[in-house]
């Protein structure tokens, strides 16, 4: 269930892609092809797992390509430290996904069934997809020296506060505090549920997931801040946007885990 290949080897190989041409289809195209493939399976578990497996391989190839392109671009911009931080962030992401997939496997209510294997295949693909899309977005911003897209709720908050950079930064900070508080609340509730259940060892597994996520988050935010072009204010905002996206993604995963546990415990 792990992510194959070290971060450094993936980036090193992909960095030699000729002329930075996008040989692999984009993450959006791969997702579209996967949806079409699944739609043609008529609901069969084995064909659906095959669709997820093929899509995961395509997404893994695209991920390696995008990593190489970012590495190449950062070095062209005279940012070798950012390139090194990218390698570190990718390694931390891989460790986090491995811990997360192991936890999901152990907490899946369909233990030993085909539904469990199907869920694991889908989760592995989704992890690759979200990582690839995030790096595609960063690459696009890097190429155009554009500012990262800010969450619409933050934009509305800033507009209500009169607009301008100070309002955006203040609303970003408020959104980060709110997301962090909610994440901590969901994490504590999920941890309590696991401790009270028949498998208290899963609480240790959840703590490992959270530790690996925190390490990944810190590495990713450091990479984004160092790799973003422009003045310090632009880099700080980019790191705040990245941190908020990571918080919200982790919050969705923990909320889903909590719902699964609550449904399970409510059944006779």
pLDDT of residue 113: 72
List pLDDT tens digits, range 113-140: 787 888 888 889 999 999 999 999 999 9
User: How far, in Å, CA of 70 to CA of 6, rounded?
Assistant: 17
Q: With 0-12 CB in 10 A as exposed, 13-18 as middle and 19+ as buried, what is 77?
A: middle
Q: Is the pLDDT of residue 72 over 90?
A: yes
User: How far, in Å, CA of 157 to CA of 145, rounded?
Assistant: 25
List pLDDT tens digits, range 206-236: 999 999 999 999 999 999 999 999 899 999 9
List pLDDT tens digits, range 15-40: 444 333 445 789 999 999 999 999 99
User: How far, in Å, CA of 268 to CA of 265, rounded?
Assistant: 8
pLDDT of residue 68: 97
């Amino acid at each position: 269930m792990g992510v194959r290949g070290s971060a450094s080897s993936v980036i090193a190989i992909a960095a030699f892609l000729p002329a930075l041409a996008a040989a692999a289809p984009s993450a959006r195209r791969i997702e579209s092809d996967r949806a079409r493939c699944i739609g043609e399976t008529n609901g069969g578990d084995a064909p659906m797992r095959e669709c997820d497996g093929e899509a995961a391989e395509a997404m893994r190839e695209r991920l390696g390509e995008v990593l190489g392109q970012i590495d190449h671009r950062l070095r062209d911009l005279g940012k070798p430290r950012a390139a090194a931080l990218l390698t570190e962030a990718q390694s931390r992401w891989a460790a986090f996904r491995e811990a997360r997939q192991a936890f999901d496997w152990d907490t899946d209510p369909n233990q030993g069934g085909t539904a469990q294997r199907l869920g694991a295949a889908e989760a592995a693909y989704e992890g690759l997809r979200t990582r690839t899309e995030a790096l595609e977005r960063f690459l696009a911003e890097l190429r155009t020296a554009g500012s990262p897209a800010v969450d619409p709720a933050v934009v509305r908050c800033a507009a209500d506060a009169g607009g301008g950079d100070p309002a955006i930064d203040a609303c970003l900070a408020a959104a980060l505090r709110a997301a962090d508080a909610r994440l901590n609340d969901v994490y504590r509730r999920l941890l309590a549920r696991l401790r009270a259940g028949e498998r208290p060892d899963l609480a240790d597994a959840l703590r490992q997931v959270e530790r690996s996520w925190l390490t990944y988050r810190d590495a990713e935010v450091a990479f984004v801040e160092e790799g973003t072009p422009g003045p310090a204010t632009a880099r700080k905002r980019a790191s705040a946007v990245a941190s908020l996206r990571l918080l919200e993604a982790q919050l969705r995963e923990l909320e889903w885990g909590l719902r699964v546990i609550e449904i399970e415990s409510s059944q006779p």
